[in-house]
Amino acid sequence: MGQASSWNAGVGNPSIREKLAKNGPLQLVTRVSTRVLNSLLRGARAILVTSSTLKASLESRRELFTRGASPEVVVIRNVFPVASQPTEDRGSHRKSGHLNVLYAGTLGRAQNLQNALEAAKLAKQQGLQVHMIFVGAGAARELLQEKAQEFGVDARFIRLKPAELLNAYYDWADTALVHLAEWEPLRRTVPSKTYELLFNRIHISGVVEGEAADLISSLGGGDVVAPQDPLALANLWVSLGNNPKRLSVGTTGRDWVIREREEMTPVRLLQILQQIEASDDNASS
Q: Can you give the CATH number for the domain in which 138 is found? A: 3.40.50.2000
pLDDT at 1: 44
Instruction: Give the Å distances, CA to CA, from 258 to 79, 80, 200, 249.
Output: 8, 9, 11, 16
pLDDT at 219: 98
Residue 104's nearest CA partner among 36, 33, 156, 51 is 156
pLDDT at 283: 67
Which residues neighbour 118 within 8 Å (Cβ) at sequence distance 6 or greater?
151, 230, 234
Residue 122's nearest CA partner among 80, 165, 153 is 153
In a domain, 53, yes or no: no
Q: How many domains does the chain have?
A: 1
Q: How far apart are CA 50 and CA 151, in angstroms?
A: 36
Q: How many Cβ atoms from other residues are within 10 Å of residue 163's Cβ?
A: 12
Residue 116's nearest CA partner among 35, 183, 175, 74 is 175
Q: How far apart are CA 259 and CA 39, in angstroms?
A: 35
Beta strands 175-179 and 73-75, pairing class = unpaired
pTM score, whole prediction: 0.86
In a domain, 160, yes or no: yes
Per-residue tens of pLDDT for the chain, all 285 residues: 444 444 455 555 555 555 555 555 667 777 887 888 888 888 888 899 999 999 999 998 888 888 777 788 999 999 988 877 766 667 667 778 899 999 999 999 999 999 999 999 999 999 999 999 999 999 999 999 999 999 999 999 998 767 778 888 999 999 999 999 999 999 999 999 999 999 999 999 999 999 999 999 999 999 999 999 999 999 999 999 999 999 999 999 999 999 999 999 999 999 999 988 887 777 666
Chain-centroid distance of CA 166 in Å reads 17
Q: How far apart are CA 11 and CA 110, in angstroms?
A: 10
In a domain, 82, yes or no: no
DSSP state of 37: H
In a domain, 229, yes or no: yes
Name the residue type at position 34.
T
Residue span of the structural domain in which 124 resides: 98-252
Chain-centroid distance of CA 261 in Å reads 18
pLDDT at 172: 93
In a domain, 265, yes or no: no
In a domain, 11, yes or no: no
In a domain, 3, yes or no: no
Q: How far apart are CA 253 and CA 250, in angstroms?
A: 7
* Alpha helices per DSSP H over the chain: 16-21, 25-42, 52-59, 114-125, 141-151, 167-172, 192-200, 210-218, 230-242, 252-259, 265-284
Rg of the chain over CA atoms, in angstroms?
21
Burial class (CB in 10 A: 0-12, 13-18, 19+), 218: exposed
In a domain, 284, yes or no: no
